[in-house]
Amino acid sequence: MSSRREFIKGMAGATTVLCCGVGITTLFDSCASVAQLQVPIIDNSIKLDASVFQDKDYVVIKNDRLPAPIYIHKENGSYKASLMLCTHRNCELNVTGSFLSCPCHGSEFSNKGKVLTGPADKDLQRFNLRVDGSTIIIDLT
């Protein structure tokens, strides 16, 4: 039979392992769900195969020529593309569930680029895009 002190130590250790394990699993799950693609820019446009959205609602496009990644959201068969750069102080945004958040001052934007919470007071920069067959073409001009 263990003493009360040994029991408490054992439970504290088990709780720590359990909490850390859940936190790490959640972190890995959230990282795995963000599809980040490195895509070339050709003739001031980005071409993306629509099949990348097969099991996702959004993808994040990266290219070193862009000031920040581009967030592309799919809803009901249509797509919206927004620059992930906060309109308050130009901080790069984070994807947080179904919205974008600014780590610098707390602004939040919908997945369509609309301001939800300030201090930002302007929507995100949007890009025109079109779908040609199974190819999504984002116009960067």
Query: Domain residue spans in the chain?
Result: 1-33, 36-139
Confidence (pTM) = 0.72
The mean predicted confidence, pLDDT, of the chain is 79
- In the predicted model, what is the mean pLDDT of residues 91-120? 89
More reliable by pLDDT, 129 or 9 = 129
> What average pLDDT score do residues 60-81 get?
89
Instruction: Check whether 51 has a pLDDT greater than 50.
Output: yes
pLDDT band at 39 (very low <50, low <70, confident <90, very high): confident
CA distance 83 to 124: 6
Give the SS3 label for residue 21: helix
Specify the CATH number for 36-139; select among 3.60.40.10, 1.20.1370.20, 3.40.220.10, 2.102.10.10: 2.102.10.10
Render the burial of 110-132: b for 16+ CB within 10 Å, e for the rest. Answer: bbebebeeeebeeebeebebeee
Per-position b or e across 77-90, b if 16+ CB within 10 A of its CB: eebbbbbbbbbbee
* Distance (Å, whole) CA 28 – CA 136: 28
